[in-house]
Structure formats: structure tokens, C-alpha cells
Chains A and B, each alone.
Chain A
């Protein structure tokens, strides 16, 4: 049983909370102690959203600190850059190759940084860029890009596929279960 600290970052509305809920449920089913922390309210309105998921034999703090995340799961490039200091030196950074401009960029007061993936890769050996938006589009609903990425991330854990499916069935609204399981499988089978 590995101790894992997983930081999930995205833009409000990208399904960061749901992803952490599925992850937490799967880890618990697999016998892990689990602590997760999330932020609601003002932070969600299109802002930067981060959730922390920590699993292991016995977890105290629900918060992950800088330099201590085993995995960064980022649904947007700039958010990966924002939270990159939280990754361990040998941590895995899975980043959706999608750009969503924050308001300061939209109104022209700052520039969206160029070459984000290259910057990340220069600092960390294990950066995996993913075209999750395209994958989700192929499934007919761009909103499931989060679960596609969760599927990809799941390979870094020892939690069996069937446990993930159960967690999705329990967490996601019934009419979206099949779609999300397909999304998960697509991510799980994705070659990177």
C-alpha cells in the first residue's frame, strides 16, 4: 500500500471536485485511509480550483504542501504552472494540453505564458501532456475530460479498474455513469 499525495488543479467548472470524489471513493474501497480537501464558493466561479487527495495507511493533514505531491493532475496548462512547486522532484505531472485564458489575460493586463509544457518538462522529468479535450470530444461531451485524465492517472496507483468503475457508479449521477466509465477507460488505455 503506497502513500500517495495527489493534487488536482483546474479552472472552476472543469470538474475538479467530482474527480477528487471519484478518486477518494476508489481509494477507500481499495482499503486506504483517505483525506481530501477542497474549496467551494467564491473560488469556484471560473477561478483557479485545487483539491488535495491523500491516501495511505494513516493520513493526518488533508492538505498537500509544496514539494510533496506524488502526482499533479492538471486540467489546464496555466494551472499546472501555478501548482508545479507542489510536485516532488520525481513526481508525475499529468497536464491537459488546453489553454483557458484567465481574466487578467483576457483584458490584456498580462500575457499567457508561452511554452508551458516545455517549461514544465525542463524542471520535471515526468511530465505527461494529454489532449484530453479532444478525447472527451470524441466521446461526445467535453465535460468528461476530467474523468479521461483520471483514467490516465489511475495507472499510477495499485487500485484495480473494477474498483474505479464502482467508485464512478457511486459518485456520478446515474444518467452520466456509462459516459464517465467510457471516459475513464479511454484515459486508462491512452498511450502517452
Chain B
């Protein structure tokens, strides 16, 4: 049977067919759907972990326990999971263990453009990279086999254009893989220095064996065409290269670490001009230079952003192509915005009004940094808002801290905000932390998390009580407030920022896109009452339109949340009728 599948869905299918029984992940674009699709298979236990480090540790535990296990994350998630990664490389596995990591060249939805292939090299772990959905499935299965054959975790590396592209996949049945026996193994599983020293020797031997395997495996294949041009490539760059140089010869690398020295040398010796085509860092190219193979790569191709067939034709064949894919001339930009009805709008409206310095974090609410709300000063990584608020207080003093808040989402707070808050309490900070609790993980598409009381499989579970949690770690001032109650929220923010001890404000209102949220009725403008003062425009609501002569509501967008009614001093907004939302 054939099915059109998203790359991420095909990765999940591969896990299913290969008999995986445990999966753990933290959502992150573009990796999220891997685990969502895995969760649809009743034969696989799947969960959202609080963060990527925990997800990998769960998968390691399952592997030691004899099961085939996978975890999934976006590129920056692998930074969080790097600690267990580097040591599970030493311990090896019992059941097959695959770590899926999705890079985001072009930064469609990320804070940096790191190339995770460097982790394979640094952690001494083999890495495979598929170039379409069929390969996503096949390589997942192959990765589990390699993992067990060589006693190593394996990384399956994806990029946005692989994860979020669809192509046709041939489906097969699930293979029943029996649970391997669990054996206590001090020398292999307890990485104290004496044992780790011995394991490091084994890791180096393993990498040599894998390098030999790379020469033979069908994951790396040569497709001969004209020998005038030879292309060494992998992943999505293979598809762009095929399109740009259809009749050239290709060495397509499915296994990108370790690389096959002999195969590369043989291929290089038989082509006139050799190109290495890879997005981001010169990972393959650096290896070629090391083994003395001349090639054209980053001297002509960028280390920034995504490639395309047009870019390759332009840069390598010097063809006149239609130009930069991302350039849209002088058409007004349409940046992402907080949705109509978004609870975060009330938070940022208040923070801007109070002219606060806002240490921000990662989530939908990062959009509060954009005009007209423009009330977020920083965004670095998951959880950073809280540690940074503490740091800026220690640098600039407690007077500055009284005009400063950290803003972090509920899911992000659980991911890695808690430790920052403990730091504030422990080290006598006075910061105010606003946890914007919208009852979901919004940006990645509404995943449940430990605060929602529902598991990935849709079962009810215990809910983390944020108030009790903050109390337990020593924050005495914890306030819960609805950010759409603008007067009350403003008062709470002013009280808590002026207090000289740590405080937490939980801004509680569910995401407007959740099915449970029903705002009643659209809003309209009473033109007789509107003084055209434009205070409502400060909300940055996409449904409020300034026509140049007055204010109107776009009823195709209005969610009926009534926030505009709250900010208008002239009562010019009124309820009109049924909501579309």
C-alpha cells in the first residue's frame, strides 16, 4: 500500500514498522509531528517529556531495558539533550536507540541555524540523513539495525524541507521485535571514570568499524551519469542537485557520519569537476579537504539559509536565474502576529504601558516583541528569561529589577524555567516572573504538557500545580490573574515588580484557538462614539482596522474576545453578533 506522507509521518511509520515500543519527545518545529504520528500507533508507548534531555533519558532507559526506542527534537533541543547524548555514546545500547533531530536551515521557526551534523562528530555517534519521505521510513528502520549491530545510539538527521515535505511512501507491516533481556552490566552502564576510560577505547574502535561499514552500505550510493560534473551531497540538497544537474554523476550519502573515505576518493577520481553540495556548515567538504580531495563547495555556496535548484544553477553554473527566492520586492511584509483573542495580548499591552524591561522566552508570546506591542527585550533560548532577569538584576541592581520582568510560557517554564527560578530564590534575587499560562503548548500546534493534565495519548493525568510548585521552591509571592482583566492585571504587575522579594504572576487564560474557548459574539464599532484616538490600535489586534478615516472591525478575523471593549474609554466598541471563531 502506498501513502502520501509528511517526512515526519514517515519517520513515525519507520519506528512502527521496526517494532519500536517506546518514544519520548519534547515538541519543537520542525520535529513535532514525528511523535504526534507515533502516538497514533497503539503498539507504541509515546509521551511528551518536560524537555529534550528527559526525553532522551527515557529513551536510553527503554533501550537499556531491552526495547527499541526513539526520541525526537528540533536542533536546539539536541543542545538540551547533549549531556546524555555524549555519554550514551559510551554506554552503547541494548534495544536499538535512535535520536531524531530536525534542523531548520532558513530559520522558518527557530532562534538559530545550527548544523546538528557537528554533534555526530563531537559525540562519536553515527548519523543518517534521508532525502524524501520514503527514505525517512527506510532510514529509521536502518538506523535501529545499525544501533543494535554496532551497539551505539544513531542520530537520524532531518531538515525542515524533509520533515515538512510530503512524498509517496510504500507501507509494510510491523515487525514484532521481542524485548531483549535486561542485564545488569556495571562496566557498560555505570560511567564512572574507571569504566568510562575503558568504554572510550571501545567507542573509538566502534567508529573505525562504522567507517568500514560506510564504505559498503547501500545507504551511500553512486548514480553514474556524465562524468564532467560529479556531485557529493545528501538530504534535501540531493533533490535540489538532481534538479539542477540532472545528467551529472552523484554520490548520494545516506550515512553522513562517519564518511566513506575510499568511496569518496574513487568517485572523485572519476569526475572532472567535483561539487560538494550541503546546506549550512561545510561538514562533508571539511572531510574531503582532510583526506586530500579537491572540491568546490563553500567557496561558491552559502553557509547561510536554504538552498534551491535555482541557487545551485546560479552559483555553480553561473546561469541567470530568477533571483533570490526570498525577495518579494516592495510588497508589505506579513509577519506572524498574536492571534485575535490571544491571552498574551493583555499581558504585553500592560507591560508596555508600564514601560518595563522584559526578558522574554520561546513560544507564541515571543511575538510580543513585534510592533505595535514591542514589549519584549530579549529572546535567547528555552527558559533563558528567568536566569537572564536574575543576571540583569545582579548587574544593574534592585532598582533596575523593579522595572524588569521575565515572561515565560507554562510549557517553557516546565521545560527549563524552574531551575532559573530556584536560582533567584537561592541567590536572593527580587525578580518578578510572569508565567503566561495558556493551558497548552501553543506555537508548536497545541501539544499537551505537564500543566494541562492530559497525556500525549489523550489520557487524564495529574496536573502540575504551578502555584504550589512556586511556593515549594521558596517563592512566597505567587499571584494568579486574568490578563484580560486589564485593571487588575496592571495593579498586580505594579505591586509585584515593586516588591523586594521574588514573585511569580501566573497570567491565566487559555489559548484562543483551543476548542474549549468560546467567546460570544463579534464586536463592532459604533462610529458615533469613536473619537478615533487609536488607543485600540496599541493592542496590535489583526481584526482592528484603521481605514484612515476611522476604526472598523474585520469580522472575518474578530474572535469576540472583547479586549478592545476594555481599552476603549469612549465605549465605541459593542457586541454585534455571532462569532466566526
Contacts and interface: CB of A to CB of B under 8 A. Distances in A.
Contacts of B554: 100-101
Given A63-B308, A65-B310, A79-B334, A103 B371 contact: yes
Interface string A22-54: 001100100001111111111111111000000
Contacts of A46: 334, 336-339, 542
How many A residues are at the interface, by size bracket?
Answer: 35 or more
Interface stretch (B162-170, B205-213, B391-399, B428-436): B162-170
B4 A37 contact: no
Interface of B: 2, 4, 29-30, 32, 108-109, 132, 160-161, 164-168, 236, 239-240, 242-243, 308-310, 321-323, 325, 328-329, 331-339, 364, 367, 370-372, 443-445, 537, 540, 542, 544-546, 554, 556-557, 580
A174 B30 CA distance: 27
Contacts of B371: 103-104, 107, 109
A103 B368 CA distance: 13
A44 B331 contact: no
Contact of A41 (B108, B243, B370, B580): B108
Given A47-B334, A48-B334, A106-B546, A66 B323 contact: yes
A39 B243 contact: no
Contacts of A42: 29, 108-109, 336, 443
Contacts of A39: 108-109, 160, 164
Contact of B545 (A24, A33, A38, A106): A106
Q: Which 6 A-B pairs have the closest CB atoms?
A: A41-B109, A41-B29, A66-B322, A47-B336, A102-B334, A45-B336
B338 A45 contact: yes
A24 B443 contact: no
Nearest to A65: B310
Most chain B beta carbons < 10 A, residue from A13, A62, A109, A133? A62
A72 interface: no
A101 B328 CA distance: 17
Given A101-B554, A133-B556, A65 B161 contact: no
Contact of A65 (B30, B32, B325, B336): B325
Contacts of B364: 45
Contact of B546 (A13, A47, A108, A113): A108
A12 interface: yes
A105 B328 CA distance: 16
A60 B310 contact: no
A33 B134 CA distance: 12
Contacts of B4: 24-25, 28, 34, 36
A34 B167 contact: yes
6 contacts: A34-B4, A41-B30, A45-B367, A62-B166, A85-B328, A106-B545
A60 B242 contact: yes
A82 interface: yes
Nearest to A63: B308
A40 B445 contact: yes
Contacts of B160: 39
Contacts of A40: 29-30, 32, 108-109, 164, 445
Most chain A beta carbons < 10 A, residue from B29, B109, B322, B332? B332
A51 to B, nearest CB: 9
Nearest to A29: B4
A105 B537 CA distance: 11
Most chain B beta carbons < 10 A, residue from A11, A59, A63, A67? A63
Given A103-B540, A142-B556, A62 B165 contact: yes
A78 B544 CA distance: 18
Contacts of A48: 333-334
B347 to A, nearest CB: 16
A102 B310 contact: no
Contact of A142 (B243, B336, B580): B580
B161 A37 contact: yes
A104 B333 contact: yes
A112 interface: yes
Contacts of A24: 4, 166
A81 B108 CA distance: 21
Contact of A38 (B164, B325, B329, B557): B164
A56 B318 CA distance: 28
Given A35-B167, A102-B334, A107 B339 contact: no
A106 B334 contact: no
A80 to B, nearest CB: 10
A42 B362 CA distance: 11
Contact of B334 (A35, A59, A78): A78
Nearest to B166: A36
A45 B557 CA distance: 13
B332 A106 contact: no
Contact of B557 (A47, A68, A100, A107): A100
Given A35-B166, A45-B338, A61 B331 contact: no
A33 B108 contact: no
Contacts of A192: none
Nearest to A99: B554
A102 B554 CA distance: 12
Contacts of A60: 239-240, 242-243
A110 interface: yes
B443 A41 contact: yes
A48 B333 CA distance: 8
Nearest to A26: B4
Contacts of B166: 21, 24, 34-38, 62
A161 to B, nearest CB: 20
A56 to B, nearest CB: 12
